[in-house]
Amino acid sequence: MKDTLNVVELFAGVGGFRLGLEKADASIFKTVWANQWEPSRKAQDAFDCYKKKFGGEPSNQDIATVPSELFSTLNIDLLVGGFPCQDYSVARSLSGEKGLEGKKGVLFWEIKRVIEHSHPKYVLLENVDRLLKSPSKQRGRDFAVMLATFRDLQYNVEWRVVNAAEYGAAQKRRRVFIFAYKNKLDFAKKQQVFSQDNIVFKEGFFAKTFPVHEEPYKKRIATGTLPNDILEISDYFAFDFHTAGIMMDGNIFTVQTEAKNPSFTPLKDILMDEATVAEKFYLTEAQAEKFAYLRGPKKIERTSAEGHKYIFSEGGMSPTDELDGPGRTMLTSEGSINRSTHIVEVNGKKRFLTPIECERLNGFPDNWTATMTDRMRYFCMGNALVVDLIEKMGKTILAIEENEEIVSEQITITLR
């Protein structure tokens, strides 16, 4: 085991990955480079927050403009990042000399570029859970392209959709986490001893971190093999990926898992003392009426762009959020006049969650984002990770690394 693990954080936001890893063990996880850049924005609020909290010289530029040579010098052990769900289709380059090319601006290809020039032992990524089903007309294609990319980079991959509220958090936040590890590692060799179902249910990275029942939920299970040619995957391949699974050498095993002994933190436990809540967060009479309408059931006649009329229906929801249960998934629109915004009622008064309470929903320290406006604080927390989940995964990586004797090695990559 190395004394420290060099970490590179891509699409860093306000630092949820780094904060979680440092909570796991700040003496071992050392972030050697981080990048955060918000396109089309003059103000770089998330970057400013990241730099203020962690210091150093994080990168604030388009990741596509960062020279590949930099990544070769960083000696990366662990690459982490939360990236957007985009179009992962590929095509032959016009000249044919460069093989396959992904669409410009798709950030996963930047992750691939970093890996090709640094070969980290471990990669930990986060995305919205719809990644497993996209695009709607060729379900599973995008995730299959990602898996094949890792296969060709000589990595095994585990994935799991984790609901944070099932593992102690105060928010029903469902995200897919992807853990890739080089197939030459000691850990990889030990995993090969187990059957794929045993890895997913008991012995794998996610099973050790987030325990599940050892039977698939409603018998939802599937196996398959990725075509060798990524272009064939992009053009024709579709697959029903479930919420957990593993890919080794192109062989897929996937199931829907069910959390064992789920537990959550109730929303009431993260609320501030009402005496400290500013008046601006309490609803006016007009706002209360608007939210009553937005959260109530409705049937509205609408006209489509083609001119035909239809009925838009929406079911009702509770006028306020249940304080004894976990919060709903927080979106970037949190704090605005929006159906998805949390509304709590305390001592007979209805109000928004404060930015501090939103930080607590994601496990950040109070006032972590106090460098920015309330609107941007809500926005950044709507985009952020649940820090406690990263801490748990960081501890599992440390347990793996304790028994690891193989250090990072350079591998020549050839796309199939």
85 is catalytic: yes
Residues 6+ apart with CB under 8 A from 323: 266, 267, 268, 271, 344, 346
Single-letter code of the amino acid located at 306: E
Residue in 414, 415, 416, 406 with CA at minimum distance from that of residue 183 = 406
Helices (H) and strands (E) in the chain, counts: 13, 15
Q: Encoding tokens for residue 249? A: 């050498």
Asked if residues 330 and 283 have their Cβ atoms less than 8 Å apart, the reply is no
First to last CA, the chain: 33
**How far apart are the C-alpha atoms of 50 and 313, rounded to whole Å?**
42
Q: Which of 49, 85, 358, 380 is catalytic?
A: 85
**How far apart are the C-alpha atoms of 128 and 270, rounded to whole Å?**
24
Kind and range of the H or E element at 351? strand 349-352
Q: Encoding tokens for residue 256? A: 């829907």
Give the CA distances from residue 325 to residues 50, 173, 263, 269, 359, in Å, rounded to whole numbers and listed in that order: 31, 13, 10, 10, 17
Catalytic residues: 85
